[in-house]
Amino acid sequence: MHHPLDGITVVALEQAVAAPFATRQLADLGARVIKVERPGAGDFARGYDRTVHGQSSYFVWLNRGKESVELDIKHDRVLLDALLDRADVVVQNLAPGAVERLGLDAETLRAARPELVHCSISGYGTTGPYRSKKAYDLLVQCETGLVSSTGTPDAPAKAGVSIADIAAGMYAYSGILTALYDRERTGQGASLHVAMIDALGEWMSQPAYFSRDGGEGPRRTGARHPSIAPYGPHRTRDGSVFLGVQNDREWTVLCRDILGKPELADRFRTNDDRVEHVEELTSIIETEFERLDTAHVVELLEQGGIANARLRTPAEFTRHPQLAARQRWRRVDIPGGAVDALLPPVVGWEPVMGAVPALGAHTEAVRAEFLGAKGEPA
């Protein structure tokens, strides 16, 4: 079966989330991803938890379809150099300054092989006062204003997923694809760098504009929207339903056809009016919704063309009827078992969805392939 990145070899000097997220996308598209791991310990994300047949949920999520090679990159340079000599792409997110000290930086590697695509991911970039500062997902969420924008009026909160890492990984992935496309036309590779603060900062631009140019600080509104109403959770008789009204026409429909209170449409005519009086508005809506169970409220909202959702847990998401109906799960082997993995979001070809490797599972095979029986580059 043909895959878009067949024939592309990626050497991944990676750990944790950001770089592994980028390279897993490449593996799903058919690239050969050789993951270089520390002898005995491996990527420290292997130890984050032991919840998936004894494996880390993070590692299972981020590393399917890769080959794991245990390698001391400080001392076993023969094999590493052989890998780099045949790589199309190098991806790294080691500690700040590590690749420069080891001679694995873009400038050094691309001096010998200008066709190489080299992508580095860091927390804060290579210059400036934060260039050597440790950067974990929560900390970058703090520095970009996300934590202060999330939560309730009483307490800020982090995002529930590794959003700074994911943002950086997605920009690295798209940057690598762009560089490979450009190389097809020019023959030249690229030196790419993605900083987590820049990646998540892009996603924080709207609240940044709102706060800076609107003259007020971030609004923490829990699960409600800070600048659109009604938009968020509303209690029903047996739970809650989330709804989103996007314009005045939908607001009129909600008041007239669902709440049976057409006079509300004129009383809270504009979105600004509704946001200003959101507490009163929520109370009025919930008074009506609490007479009905959630399923009935959802049915009414659907009939009225009002966007809505049920509140599901992550476990309930894995049983979502829409995903089941669209056959969005594939069985993936992992050390000690198998797991249902969600297909990549882009639909257009069947992804590889390879196995999650045990630590060092491919070391000997890769060593034989790249160095041969005599232990010298093949």
pLDDT of residue 297: 96
Using a 10 angstrom Cβ sphere, with 0-12 exposed, 13-18 middle and 19 or more buried, the burial of residue 208 is: middle
What pLDDT, on a 0 to 100 scale, did the predictor assign at position 179? Answer: 98
Report whether pLDDT(215) > 90.
no
- Does 225 participate in catalysis according to the annotation? yes
β-partners of residue 130 are: none
What are the residue ranges of CATH 3.30.1540.10 in the chain?
Answer: 231-312
- Give me the pLDDT at residue 378, please: 63
pLDDT at 374: 66
The predicted structure's pLDDT at residue 213: 81
- At residue 58's C-alpha, the angle toward residues 54 and 59, to 5°, is 70
DSSP designation for 254? I
pLDDT digits (tens, 9 = 90+) for 282-321: 999 999 999 999 999 999 999 999 999 999 999 999 999 9
Write 310-319 long-range contacts (CB < 8 A, 24+): 310/239, 310/241, 310/242, 311/233, 311/239, 311/240, 311/242
Q: What's the pLDDT tens digit per position in 225-258? A: 988 999 999 999 999 999 999 999 999 999 999 9
pLDDT at residue 373 is higher than 90? no
* Every domain range in the chain assigned CATH 3.40.50.10540: 9-204+325-371
Q: Tokens at residue 71, please?
A: 């390698």
pLDDT digits (tens, 9 = 90+) for 331-365: 999 999 999 999 999 989 899 999 999 999 999 99
CATH of segment(s) 231-312: 3.30.1540.10
Which of 3, 225, 296, 362 is an active site residue?
225
List, as one string, the DSSP characters of 44-77: GGGGS--TBTTB-HHHHHH-TTEEEEE--TTT-H
Q: Supply φ then ψ for residue 164, to 5 degrees.
A: -70, -40
Domain 9-204+325-371 has CATH 3.40.50.10540: yes
| Six-digit token string for 44 | 């420290």
Which of the four pLDDT bands, split at 50, 70 and 90, describes residue 189? Answer: very high
Quick one: pLDDT at residue 191? 98
DSSP alpha helices (H): ranges in the chain? 18-28, 57-62, 77-85, 98-102, 106-112, 137-143, 146-149, 163-186, 196-203, 205-214, 248-253, 263-267, 271-276, 278-289, 294-304, 314-317, 321-325, 363-371
190 bridge partner residues: 117
Burial of residue 159, with CB atoms counted within 10 A of its CB: 0-12 exposed, 13-18 middle, 19 or more buried: middle
Q: What's the pLDDT at 216? A: 74
Q: Is the pLDDT of residue 132 over 80?
A: yes
CA distance 75 to 39: 12
- Tokens coding 94: 């080691």
Q: What is the pLDDT of residues 99-109, one digit of tens each?
A: 999 999 999 99
